[in-house]
Amino acid sequence: MTIPNIVRSWLFQGFQIPSVLFGISSLYYLLTDRGLRNALNNHVIIAMVFVGLILQFIDVTALIYTGRTGTVLVSTRAFCFTWASVHAIGVVGVVNLMAWASIERHILIFHPNLVRTKTNRFFLHYFPLIICMMCPGVFYITMYFIVPCSITMNYKTVDCGLYSCVVANPSVGFVALIIRVLASKCRARQRIQWRNYRRMAVQLLSISFLYMSLWCPSIFLYTAYLLGLSRNIGASYYPDSNYFNYYAIILTPIVCALSLPELRTKFKICFPCCRRRRAAVGPQALMMTRTKAGPIAGPTAAIATIAQ
């Protein structure tokens, strides 16, 4: 049974609000803290959170409005092309960044010497980040604005129906990159000091689990269709699986914030209600009282009595 559009829109909005707050806060801390900003392993996370926020402000907001009203947010060709471009470039770009994060962690953990020099750091760190966003940008801008497309604009569907002009699907490339990373790690025989890289590994595994658990169902089902599986099988579930893909992007800022110890500490400072109250253990001062006519109360009185 397919989830109704109105239910999808409310679920989107329920997760969108905390996700945007976490995303803005995470970007603020990652960019203002010099140590976090200069760490190479955080750069791809910054890019993912930034692109994810753009998707939420434009793509997810438009999806929420379309799910509630049955029409696009602004019924113009300019808005439709903007929405379709942001949706396609942003989604594929985030998936590319996620895949590159896996490969980059492999380099930082197994071959850290490769990024010691400025030249190697540019080609093995900064340049791939640019390529991850530039490739889908060039491809989809070409498909939408240069290659002729005879699709009629439909102001009652997602992306106004413009995505039908594109035949490519980024999921296969995403799976191939994951296989490449796993194969590389299996071939590596170096002795690794896992304690030094535990934070990077936890961060990567957290985000990877999020993407794989939400993307793999639609990927496997789409691959089965390409291999000859009848489209009637899973016909009602396939649209829902594509809908759940969005939650990988929406939940990324939250997972990033929770997977970084530095960000967890900063969030606890900002939100005191999240701190655990611990019982104070230690010596406590005893109040000494004296009556008008009586002896000193407390341990001092006992000492005075013995002295007498």
**Per-residue DSSP letters for 42-92?**
HHHHHHHHHHHHHHIIIIIHHHHHHHHHSS-SS-SHHHHHHHHHHHHHHHH
pTM: 0.72
- DSSP three-state, residue 156: coil
Place of tokens 């606890």: 268
pLDDT of residue 131: 94
pLDDT of residue 157: 87
Q: Is the pLDDT of residue 118 over 50?
A: yes
Cβ distance 93 to 52 under 8 Å? no
pLDDT of residue 191: 44
Give the whole-angstrom CA distance, residue 26 versus residue 44. 13
Which of 5-19, 186-200, 222-236, 240-254 is the least confident region? 186-200
Q: What's the mean pLDDT in 134-141? A: 91
pLDDT of residue 1: 58
Which carries the bigger pLDDT value, residue 76 or residue 3? 76
Please report the beta strands in the chain, taking only residues with DSSP state E, as ranges in sequence order.
none
Query: CA nearest 53: which of 79, 28, 84?
Result: 28
Give the whole-angstrom CA distance, residue 264 versus residue 65. 33
Which of 45-49, 116-120, 162-166 is the least confident region? 162-166
Q: Is the pLDDT of residue 119 over 50?
A: yes
Q: Is the pLDDT of residue 155 over 70?
A: yes
Q: Give residue 2's pLDDT band: very low, low, confident or very high (50, 70, 90).
A: confident
Q: Which amino acid is at 262?
A: E
Which of 101-110, 197-206, 273-282, 294-303 is the least confident region? 294-303
Give the whole-angstrom CA distance, residue 202 versus residue 264. 14
Q: Give residue 103's pLDDT band: very low, low, confident or very high (50, 70, 90).
A: confident
pLDDT of residue 108: 86
Domains (range + CATH), the chain? 5-184+192-266 (1.20.1070.10)
Q: Name the CA dihedral angle for 272, 276, 281, 287, rounded to a multiple of 10 degrees.
A: 40
Query: CA nearest 26: which of 1, 54, 46, 12?
Result: 46
Place of tokens 């801008």: 141
- DSSP three-state, residue 286: coil
Cβ distance 32 to 89 under 8 Å? no
Which carries the bigger pLDDT value, residue 283 or residue 24? 24
Q: What are phi and psi of 306, to 5 degrees?
A: -65, -40
Q: Give residue 110's pLDDT band: very low, low, confident or very high (50, 70, 90).
A: confident
Q: What mean pLDDT, rounded, does the chain reach?
A: 77
Q: Is the pLDDT of residue 73 over 60?
A: yes
